[in-house]
Amino acid sequence: MLLWINGPFGGGKTQTAHEIRRRLPGSVVCDPEHAGFGLRRMLPPELRGDFQDLASWRQGVVEVLDLALRAHDGVVIAPMTVTDPRYFDETVGRLRALGHDVRHFTLLAERETVLKRLRERGLGHLLGFAVGRNAGLRRESWAVQQLDHCLERLREPEFAEHLWTDRTTVPRTADRIAVLAGLTLVPNTEGALRTRLRQAGVGVRHIRFD
């Protein structure tokens, strides 16, 4: 089974994916963004745009996830924002056409909720203390520019199942996905402090500098 976790940039996809992996034995996170940034770095700076526009990214994601699903004995989790219906068909749709059980979920939240998460993402808390409340948003300027478009597009029926996350935690969102996918997660026994520290570690490991 493939769990494709969609949503706006800063919507909690990566945190939710790693929460599920932590509590679902045998599962693995395969992040399509890694392939995209690799392809982007291969290009001269003046040619670096949205890597999803590259057919090689879309084809490569399908090839790698197809291999992982066929060879790995466990659930594969892919956290990735996709808002273009054509690209959705060429990735999620193609994997389904190959016979894979793909469960797609879109994490949604109100605009202010996502902006708050973007402020705090990665080293956002530290930047906020050092240089001002909106320092994190300046660092995430591309994500902020895409936010309204993402929220509008991802509300469309073709991007269901929709999960609203404004008033819930990452562990509870993971629990909800598991129930909808027919999976059983190990109970979450972490305290609030340990959860925050672990999530901060996930955020730091996924900081992008290009």
Domain that holds residue 93: 2-109+158-205
190 part of a folded domain = yes
Contacts for 174 with CB less than 8 Å, ≥ 6 apart: 16, 19, 20, 23, 185, 188
- What CATH number does the domain containing 89 carry? 3.40.50.300
pLDDT, mean of residues 131-137? 51
pLDDT in tens, 144-197: 988 999 999 999 999 999 999 999 999 999 999 999 999 999 999 888 888 788
Q: Is residue 129 part of a domain?
A: no
Mean pLDDT of 3-19: 95
- pLDDT > 90: what percent of the chain? 75
pLDDT for the residue 140: 58
In a domain, 19, yes or no: yes
For the residues 98-125, what does the mean pLDDT come to?
88
Give yes or no for residue 209 having a pLDDT over 60: no
Domain count across the chain: 1
The DSSP-derived string for 20-70 is: HHHHSTT-EE--HHHHHHHHHHHS-GGG---GGG-HHHHHHHHHHHHHHHH
Residue 140 lies inside a defined structural domain of this protein: no
Residue 152 in any domain: the answer is: no
Q: What is the pLDDT of residues 20-77, one digit of tens each?
A: 999 999 999 999 999 999 999 999 999 999 999 999 999 999 999 999 999 999 999 9
In a domain, 42, yes or no: yes
